[in-house]
A and B are shown apart, each in its own frame.
Chain A
């Protein structure tokens, strides 16, 4: 399996990563090697196998829908890089 630098650029965009030209070449090399490693699993016959969703074979637990937390907006927003009046600020999205 080998990825071109165009593939790498496309994946980087999907992952919202900015990749420089030199980085792109190194990445296409490294990612291709990793995919070669991954390709070893193709040899396994998995025709009748159910994919494993969870190691403990348990169902997702549900909880009652009730309020358990108190409002701590200020504390939780104290790590925000840019905030004002309880809002996270980002560059203008709609002109």
Chain B
């Protein structure tokens, strides 16, 4: 059953080929047998999952099932789940039992989705390798000596290894797309504001966005339909109707204008990544798309602007962890300051501390204009580059990540080299645009990703283009051996 896509499982449930309880048991059994090699889950919620599956089967028997009813899904451990530990990959929240559900979780729950458990992640979503997790690194099912990417590395590894048909992820600078690329799955970061941030533990509030991580674009369309939509509990939620992500999936690509970013294709691009990108471009051409070279003149400033905006917002968001109301508290504090300092220093790992410090510095008296305001201006330039490009083209294409999965430990001593993992994805978050990563041909036996970027709220078109590519190619069907 784990060989089937989410869409196939949905059809199988509807046809009565198997029940949700059978399906859920099958995936729980796979997690139990195989996840010891990957560490992709922080918590497995077997008992609740089986109860939800029973309820889903009853709902189906009553004729009230939808396309997602009874489908098992794993949630990134950044989403609050009522009554279940929500750790965000941090010692700080190791003991935190969420008193409420995130909107994304609540919506999927209402659609009848079964939660298998909570997936591992970089601590507070800060990382590109899933090595900053308090619960240990996640391993890439394609080569367990390698990282799966991050921060949604647990979700990516679980879907790639067929331990879950689909998972939720979040993406602040590439945290859905880069791990999707490194593990050979499909990952969509929707437009900023499309999925509610309510109950999604905040990292950088002007960039954070939730999205689906699946095997195919069709599955991403199905899952996004259950996750997205306006939510009055999120003050930056987009108040506009949801598109039907499924109806246009098969639209032909004849005449589609695809922009290839010049700046991303030069600068000593890895030859394996370049070849993989070219193969997908060739497929687009074969289907009648027109390839146009475009320029994003300020895109090279993305990483530097991001490493002001994201840490600044992180330092503000993470100031709530004070050892008083919830989360880790140090033993025997001498006074209030000691309580704050030791609780935070014990609770946060090294990368989180680095980002809090950079953000604190950038926001401190005398530096605010030079850093935060300057970065927000650069962000405007980058967004304007995209607006200009979208006057010429319908979608923009690039590699997702600059290289295939690297070895565990290879980049942990050099934060800046880790940050450069996201050079192709970060600009998309800064501009608030939707972006999808789909599998491209492998390089050296390891997965690569192809990124498509769309206009604001043009998720349906990204899913259409991705789906059409997947209808004619088999890169997304490859599965790692031994799982």
Contact = CB atoms under 8 A, between A and B. Distances in A.
Interface residues of A, number: 53
Interface in B290-324: 298, 300-301, 303-305, 307-308, 315, 319, 322-324
Contacts of A42: 374
Contacts of A34: 307, 354, 358, 415-416, 419
Interface string A40-82: 1111101001111111101011010000000010011111111
B335 interface: yes
Contacts of A12: 357
Interface stretch (B22-30, B233-241, B468-476): B233-241
A79 B356 contact: no
Mostly, the B contact residues are helix
A37 B301 contact: no
Interface in B396-434: 414-416, 419, 430-433
B345 A19 contact: yes
A38 B307 contact: yes
A56 B433 CA distance: 9
A36 to B, nearest CB: 8
B324 A15 contact: no
Given A17-B353, A52-B380, A78 B304 contact: no
B325 A79 contact: yes
A46 B238 CA distance: 28
Interface stretch (B92-100, B113-121, B281-289): B92-100
Interface residues of B, number: 73
B344 interface: yes
A86 to B, nearest CB: 13
B304 A91 contact: no
Contacts of A7: 361
A75 B101 CA distance: 13
A17 B359 CA distance: 13
Nearest to B309: A52
Interface stretch (B133-141, B175-183, B326-334): B326-334
B345 A17 contact: yes
A51 B431 contact: no
A17 B344 contact: yes
Given A33-B415, A79-B326, A80-B325, A44 B378 contact: yes
A91 B336 contact: yes
Given A52-B379, A79-B96, A37 B354 contact: no
Interface string B67-104: 00000000000000000000000000001110100000
A40 B304 contact: yes
B375 interface: yes
Contacts of A36: 416
Interface in A6-52: 7-8, 11-12, 14-19, 27, 30-31, 33-44, 46, 49-52
B380 A31 contact: no
B340 interface: yes
A34 B92 CA distance: 25
A35 B416 CA distance: 10
Contacts of A8: 357
Interface centre among A33, A37, A92 (most CB of B within 10 A): A37
Interface in B343-394: 344-345, 348, 353-354, 356-358, 360-362, 364, 371, 373-381, 383
A44 B481 CA distance: 47
B304 to A, nearest CB: 4
Given A44-B301, A50-B380, A38 B192 contact: no
B206 interface: yes
A18 B192 CA distance: 35
A79 B191 CA distance: 33
A1 to B, nearest CB: 10
B89 to A, nearest CB: 17
Nearest to B358: A34
Contacts of B361: 3, 7, 11, 31, 35
Given A16-B340, A40-B304, A11 B364 contact: yes
Given A75-B99, A91-B336, A81 B329 contact: yes
A91 B357 contact: no
A78 B334 CA distance: 24
A-B pairs, 5 with minimum CB distance: A55-B432, A51-B376, A81-B329, A79-B326, A46-B377
14 contacts: A8-B357, A33-B414, A38-B375, A40-B303, A41-B374, A44-B377, A51-B376, A53-B376, A54-B432, A55-B431, A58-B238, A61-B239, A79-B95, A91-B335
